[in-house]
Each structure stands twice: as structure tokens, then as C-alpha cells.
Amino acid sequence: MAISGRAVALALFGAAVVVLSPAPGLTLLLVDGLIVMLLGIDVALAGAVRSLEFSRSGPTSARLGQPVPLVLGVTNHGPRTVRARIRDAWPPSAGARPRTREVEIPAGERRFVESTLTPTRRGDREPFRITVRSLGPLGLAGRQGRHSCPWRVRVLPPFTSRRHLPAALARLREIEGEVAIRGAGAGSEFDSLRDYVIGDDVRLIDWRGSARRAAVVVRSYRPERDRRIVCVLDTGRTSAGRVGDTPRLDHALDAALLLTSVALRAGDRVSLVAHDSVPRLSLPGSHDHTFLARVSDAMATLEPAIVEADHSGIVSTVLRETSRRSLVVLFTELAPAVIEEGLLPALPTLTARHTVVVAALRDPRIDELVAGRDDVRAVYAAAAAEQTQLRRRELTDLLRRRGVEVVDASPGSYAAAVTDTYLTLKSLGRL
Amino acid sequence: MTAGAIMTTSGGGPGGTALRSGPRPPVVRRGLRVGAVVGVLVLGVAIVSALVTRTSSQDALDIRSTKPAGTRALAQILRDRGVSVSARDAVPPDSQATSAPDTLVVLAPGRLDNGTLTALLGRVWQGSDVVLVGADDAVLDALDVGIRTASHDPGTTATPRCALPEAVAAGTTSLTGSTAYTTAIGGHRADMRVVLCFGDPPRAARLAVLTPGLDEVPAGANGGGRLVLPGSADFLTNHALNRDGNAALALGLLGRHPALSWITPDAGAPGGVGQRGVLQLLPPGVRWALLQIVIVVVLLALWRGRRLGPPVQEPLPVIVRAAEAVEGRGRLYAAARARDRAADALRTGARIRLAERAGLPLRTGPAGAPEPNPVALVASIAEQTGRSPSEIGSLLYGSGMPPPTDARPGPARRTLDRARSRDLPSDPARPAMAAPAAGAHSEPGGQDAALLRLAQNLDDLDRQAGGR
């Protein structure tokens, strides 16, 4: 049961009638009796809400930043026309527009109502409930009820670093081609035999092949394929900190997506691990091309947890996941206390079996602070920022001495830097 | 798309995370405009109606006015007949009237207080004629003469329908008006004889004449006083006096004594029996309408209060800037005035930047931090900048604050000057921070300025060494 503005206007008009009436008391009773009667009639004649049936259609996933057009189908199984205002409620971060719609559905027919979601955050978005207010023929009052029509839109990471993909793939082709020409590159996997041209290293001449054929042939090599890459995402408290307007975790997801797509093109197997105090996510390695979509999908619901990351736990999870030698890319923050207490003790077991890259995000705000000279407070802040950078540098140095590759890049070049490191390691044959 | 499909109405929404809540400005503006128009209309109607009522009531029943609503004609006729007519704004004191009976016409008797009305009734017993025009229930209750206003409609009959000689003589009159009188059922008759004329007597009469005493002497036959209650004074106006028998009735009722007081009591006089508050002045329908307004408000609350489903809850992400801890540490340094620590950090940072630019290798020092070779660094920088190695050495590896020997112009310089002049207002002889030891004893502001200066000097060195 709900009344409309018209009922209020009618009652207000009734007040005017009462003022002007010679017998106001009686008029008041008559007016209000009439209003109550009209409201009752309207409610009785309003189309039933319960006999409506809802259905949805539209995409179930979209990248963050893309609008999601959804269609809500409303079927009226009742005997009367339903004139209704419908609110399809979504959480605020789903950005559903418009909020409410007016629909008129004759008995036995179906209408489609369009709405658009513009999500503002990653993750799953589910509609809350559908509220229907069906007004009677007079538009004075009506019935109100609710329906539920479940749906889920998974908002995937935006993958803004996709623009770096062509450049990274060009570099990948260059590495593969270069190794074929130079022959003596770090690639060690036998590719094919080809004719000798002047300039080739004589050590690459395949004498048996040359004997079998009438010409001198050389072996050509290519970078190893089917290598293993493990992307490890630290989803602990440091990953919640925002750099720019985006959490560190989202920057890491972006970089991991670029790395995954390049590595898949290069023929490597990529697996994904997310870990804070407990393992959050583990996708075993694969190199089919649907894997990128699966990675995106799995990443969508990953959220930073406000707990301290357990780096020794991360290391043991990685060791459990892969038995073969792999490239382990650890997306984490170079926070001195965390790294020194958590990661360093566990590092030797990891570096003994795997190549390790620590990918950390440099906060441009720290650079701004370092340059601050406006007043004494800014200088103190600059000193604090300088100290932070020194600690980072120390830590980087420490990790490098333990044989760990460290990527320390600002948000604009983070994903590209991680992928570059991977390509460099690949061209050096260190995978 | 089917005919019933509804297009989305929102255009390209803002891409940011901050969404506007509440009504949008155009809505607010439209609401203000509507409110202003309504306000102007209400004000206009109020002003116009005030002006209209003012002009209409200005001259009504004034014995000096010749307007249709005035009563100058009646006064003139009475004077011609030898009655002295005087206009007053209060009832004359009793002592004047004891000598000779006169006629008192009171317009708006509700403005008189209880005592005055009782005194007027006393004058009736003393032989005066008292005419109370349009007396309402409040006045009649105060008089307590067994007359009350009639709820019954007196009809349109214009004939007297009574035995009052003046009324019979006048015949048909245009005595109209809404107020009519009847005898109170079970009311106190106050020893007065009542004659009800015009309209529909005895249930509703437009004129009531009360004569003291219960004897059957015809009213007005002797010189005794009378209490005359006409329902309205319209028949006395210039406009109506020459119609039908109005003049005859008027002269018969008012011309019995040689003196007539035409009394219009002050509207502002306190204690009037008929005076009513604002609420009593409102028509009776307004109270009921207020009740109806209450119902409207309840309906309004029901309309606006019934929401289309509850707000949707959603867990919100933590929003914390990554650099917050660093900024906080900077503020802690500032609060604790940790100048030495800050200076150390600035120097170390500058050393590493310079070494990287000069291509010097960094080695891990005893403290665990990577550091360039001091000798090589100072020599390299001195070569690049042309400044003395000892100066560079004390700048990069010194402890405490540098002396203010620097004299470069520029915005930074001015900042320093300002800081210094604030800290050391009038003491040129003082060796301001000539040595770190002296600086440690000077006031904290001077130390802060020194830290700022150190940062500037390091920046200058950096710039001279070829960086930006």
C-alpha cells in the first residue's frame, strides 16, 4: 500500500472546500470519507504486483570503466494492466542508471526495461531487490511489493596496460628473431637447421647435417619455450595503500595481466597465486589462450586484506605449487620491516630453485615530497621521504645481492617494466 | 525494441567515483522560482484586499459623510426637526444625561465593555432611548435582557408584522442584514417587554424593541426609554434612507428626544465584550480546515515516507594513501624538531644522487647502506662545479647546520631572509649561527631556517653538478 502525490493534492483541495463550506464539520467528514473511499477503490483496482515475473539479460562481465547495458524483462501474468514504478536496486558502486522507471504493462504482456551499469570498482555486483509500486487507475494509491531476480555482473580489472602490449610483443618477436640470427644467444633450445651464411659462428656448424646434405648447415636456436612463470600477488595490508587513486593491488593486477598475456604469446605457462596471511587464490599454470580470461575473472574478486602478509607462507605456497624451475614474480611492497623479517629468511629456499623477481611500485608522491622546499615542514617531509627512498634503495641492494631481480617503477611504467624484466630474462636464457 | 521499452534517461554520467547526491541545481532553481512567484501573488492579493476594504469601510455610517454609505442625510433631517445631533467616540458620562432623556445610537456595540453596557441599560430605565446597531450574542449576554440572535433565517419579508407604532407607520422597509433576534428560551426577561418586528417574528426578527416594565402600555406611547436593537444600520444610510419607509422608521426610532449622540466607540478600547482574538475572527470553516491540513500533512508524510525499497548496503574498500605514513613521519620530525636526523637524510640522499650522476660505484658501507667513496665523490663534484673540496665536503659530509654565508639571490634566498629577520629582529652584532655549536643554542626558528638553507644549498650543488 502506498499513496501518491495526487492523494495529497486531493486532500489539500479538500481543505479549500472545507474553508468555503457553510457546514465545515460535515464537509470535512464527507471530503475525508470520499478520499478514503477513492484510495480504497484505487488500491483495489491496482494491478497485482505478485503476478509480475521478472527476467534479466545482458553481459555478465565487463572491464572496469566499460558501461554494462542490462535489460530487465517484466511479464504481467495478472488480469489487470499494471502501471508501475519499478526500482531495480543495485549497490551504489554498480552505478545503475536510471534509478527508477515508469512502466505500463497490459495483462498478459511483457515489457523490457533498459538500464546501464557504470561500475566504479572491481568485483562482483549483484542486484539487491526489485521494488514495484503499482498505482491504480486514478493514480491516487497503489500496492507496493518486491521481487528478486538474481544476476551477477563481474567487473574485471581494467587492464589499462594493454596499450603496452604491442610494444612488448614487438620486443618478444625481436628476441626470438635475434636469437635465430645470432645463434649464440642465450637461447638453448634447438630450433632448426639452416644454410650457413658468412658471419655465422663456425662453432654452430652442424657437421652431421652438413655431411648428410651437400651444403654447410648451422644449427639455429631459439629461446626456451614452455617455461614456467608464477605471478605471486601480495594482498596484505600494504597492497591497500593507494598510489594515485588506485590501490597498489590494482596496479599489480594490471602488471600481472600484461605479463601473463605476453608470456602466453611467448609460449610459456603462467600460474597465479594470491596470498596474504592465507592463500587467497591459486590458478595452476596453463598456456591455452583462454587462460588470460580466466586470470582476469579470478582477479576480479581479489581484495586487499588488512592483515600482515606472511612472506614465509607465500614462499612455501609457491614451492608447493611448482616443482619445476620457474620465474617467480612477486608483486609486493618494499617495506623494510616486512621484507627483512618475512621475505629474507625464506628467500634462499626460493632462489635456490627459482628465478625471483620482486616487482615493487614506486609512489610518485614520495618523489614530490623529496622535492618539497616550500617551508620548514616541507623540508622535514622531504627528509622523511628521502629516508624512505634510502631504505628502499638499501633493500633493493640487499635483494639484488641475494640474486633477486628488483623492479622499482612508478605507476605509469610499472606494468611495462615488469614485462621488460621478463623479456630481458628470457632473452638471457635465465628462465 | 518494443513499444513499452523505456530508454535510459541518464546521459554519459561523470566518470569519477564521486557522485552527486541530493537535488540537482536546476530543480532547486525551479523550486525557488515557484516559491518567489507564489510569494509575490500572496503579497499582491493581501495588498489589494487591504486597499479595497479600507476604501469601503472608511465613511460607513458617518454622519458627516455624503457618500452612499454615510448618514449625513439622516442627521440633517433630525436637525431640521430640532434634534441636536452630535458625533462621539465614547458614551457620554451618566451625570450629563440625568437631566433630560436623550437618544444614544451606538455603532459596533461589541467595542463597549460590560460596565458601559450595563450603564446604558440603566439609562433606558431612566427614560433614554438606546439604539445598539447590530448587537451580537456577546453584547446581548452582557445586557442579559432575554434576547439572543436567531439562527433561523428571517426570510425576505419587508413588512413589519408587529404592533410597534413606528414600524406600522413606516410599513415596508429595506431593513435587511444577517443579524436577527429572537427571545431566549427560558431566558431572563429582565422585566422588559419585547416587541419583535420585521422578518419572521417571533422566531427571527430584524428589529427588537424593549421597553422597561411589564405593563401593556403600547411602546413609545409615553416618554419612557427604550432599548432598540436593529439587526443592521443599512436602512439609515444616505443611499437607503429615501427608499420605502426607511426614513419614517428611522425618525420614529431616533427622533423621540431632543438630543442624539451618534457614538462610534474606539476600535482599540480595551475590554469590549465583543472583542475577539485572531482565531475568533476567522470564519468557523478555518478551524475545520486546519484539521484537514493536519490530515494533508499526515498524507504527505505517508507519501514521502514510503520509499521505493530500502537503501542498498555495500562493504566499502579501505581508502588509505600509500604515502600517508611518510607524510606522518615528516610531521613527527617537524613536531620533534629532529633537525639532525633530517639533515642526515637530506645529505645522504644528495650524496647518492650526485654519485649516481657522476657514475661513481656505490658500496655498502658499515651501516649497511650503499654509499659512494667520499674522496672520489668530493673530488668529482669539485671538478664539475669548480667549488672548493672543503666546502663540498662540509656540505655533503658535515654535521649540524651550515653557516649563513650564502648570498645568492632568488626566491629561496628571500624565504631565508624572511625566516632570519623573523628570528633575529635587531641584533646585527650577533654571530648568527656561525658554528654548529652556536646554532644549537639559538632559538628553534633559526635552526629551522638553517635546515631550509641546508636543503637549498644541497639543491644548488645538485643543479651545479649538472642535474635538474
Does any CB of chain A come closer than 8 Å to the CB of residue B353? no
Q: B362, A397: Cβ pair inside 8 Å?
A: yes
How far apart CA A153 and CA B196 sit, in angstroms, is 90
CB contacts under 8 A, B 372-431 vs A, are 412, 415, 419
| Minimal-distance CA residue of chain B relative to A100 | B308
How far apart CA B142 and CA B118 sit, in angstroms, is 8
Does any CB of chain A come closer than 8 Å to the CB of residue B9? yes
CB contacts under 8 A, B 93-132 vs A, are none
From first to last of its 431 residues, what are the pLDDT tens digits of chain A? 899 999 999 999 998 888 888 888 899 999 999 999 999 999 999 999 999 999 999 999 999 999 999 999 999 999 999 999 999 999 999 999 899 999 999 999 999 999 999 999 999 999 999 999 999 999 999 999 999 999 999 999 999 998 999 999 888 888 776 544 444 444 566 777 888 888 878 888 888 888 888 888 888 776 677 889 999 999 998 899 999 889 999 999 999 999 999 999 888 899 999 998 999 999 888 878 789 999 999 999 999 998 888 888 888 889 888 888 899 999 998 888 778 888 888 888 889 989 999 999 999 999 999 888 888 889 999 999 999 998 898 888 889 888 899 999 999 999 999 999 999 998 887 77
More confident residue, A378 or B203: A378
Does any CB of chain A come closer than 8 Å to the CB of residue B292? yes
Does any CB of chain A come closer than 8 Å to the CB of residue B295? yes
Q: B289, A2: Cβ pair inside 8 Å?
A: no
Domains of chain A and CATH, by start? 2-45 (no CATH), 52-156 (2.60.40.10), 188-222 (no CATH), 228-427 (3.40.50.410)
Q: How confident is the model at residue B190 (pLDDT cuts 50, 70, 90)?
A: low
Q: A19, B283: Cβ pair inside 8 Å?
A: yes
The residues, ordered by sequence, that sit 6+ positions from A18 with a Cβ below 8 Å of its Cβ are A24, A27, A28, A31, B285, B288, B289, B292
The residues, ordered by sequence, that sit 6+ positions from B212 with a Cβ below 8 Å of its Cβ are B124, B125, B191, B192, B193, B224, B225
Task: Identify the pLDDT of residue B365.
Answer: 64
Task: Identify the pLDDT of residue B311.
Answer: 92
CA distance A346 to chain B (A): 20
Q: Which three cell numbers stand for residue B380?
A: 668529482
Q: Which three cell numbers stand for residue A172?
A: 618478444
Task: Identify the pLDDT of residue B430.
Answer: 38
Q: B455, A15: Cβ pair inside 8 Å?
A: no
Residue A18 has its nearest CB partner, among B292, B299, B303, at: B292
CA distance A197 to chain B (A): 41
Interface test mutation site (partner B, options A140, A379, A395, A398, max chain B beta carbons within 10 A): A379
> Do the Cβ atoms of A225 and A191 come closer than 8 Å?
no
- Taking contacts as CB-CB distances below 8 angstroms, the residues of chain A near B7 are 114
State ipTM: 0.77
For A146, counting Cβ atoms within 10 Å of its Cβ (0-12 exposed, 13-18 middle, 19+ buried), the class is middle
CB contacts under 8 A, A 359-378 vs B, are 363, 365-366, 369-370, 373, 375-377
CA distance A293 to chain B (A): 25
- Taking contacts as CB-CB distances below 8 angstroms, the residues of chain A near B370 are 393-394, 397
Does residue B177 register a pLDDT over 80? no
CB contacts under 8 A, A 51-70 vs B, are 65
How far apart CA B315 and CA A68 sit, in angstroms, is 21
| Minimal-distance CA residue of chain B relative to A9 | B296
Q: Which three cell numbers stand for residue A244?
A: 594515485
| pLDDT tens digits along B399-455 | 766 655 444 444 444 454 454 444 444 334 333 333 333 334 445 567 778 888 888
Lookup result for grid cell 649561527: B433
Does any CB of chain A come closer than 8 Å to the CB of residue B289? yes
CA distance B367 to chain A (A): 10
- Taking contacts as CB-CB distances below 8 angstroms, the residues of chain A near B320 are 240-242
Task: Identify the pLDDT of residue B129.
Answer: 87
The three-state (H, E, C) secondary structure of chain A, written as one string = CEECHHHHHHHHHHHHHHHHCCCHHHHHHHHHHHHHHHHHHHHHHCCCCCCEEEEEECCCEEECCCCEEEEEEEEECCCCCEEEEEEEECCHHHCEECCEEEEEECCCCEEEEEEEECCCCCEEECCCEEEEEEECCCCCEEEEEEECCCCCEEEECCCHHHHHHHHHHHHHHHHHHHHHHHCCCCCCEEEEEEECCCCCCHHHECHHHHHHCCCCEEEEEECCCCCEEEEEEECCHHHHEEECCEEHHHHHHHHHHHHHHHHHHCCCEEEEEEECCCEEEEEEEECCCCHHHHHHHHHHCCCCCCCCCCHHHHHHHHHHHCCCCEEEEEECCCCHHHHHHHHHHHHHHHHHHCEEEEEEECCHHHHHHHCCCCCHHHHHHHHHHHHHHHHHHHHHHHHHHCCCEEEEECHHHHHHHHHHHHHHHHHCCCC
CB contacts under 8 A, A 139-168 vs B, are 144, 146
Predicted TM-score of the model (pTM): 0.67
Residue A112 has its nearest CB partner, among B5, B287, B313, at: B5
Task: Identify the pLDDT of residue A178.
Answer: 55
Does any CB of chain B come closer than 8 Å to the CB of residue A73? no
CA distance A261 to chain B (A): 27
| pLDDT tens digits along B13-68 | 333 344 455 556 777 888 899 999 999 999 999 998 888 766 555 677 888 888 88
Task: Identify the pLDDT of residue B7.
Answer: 37
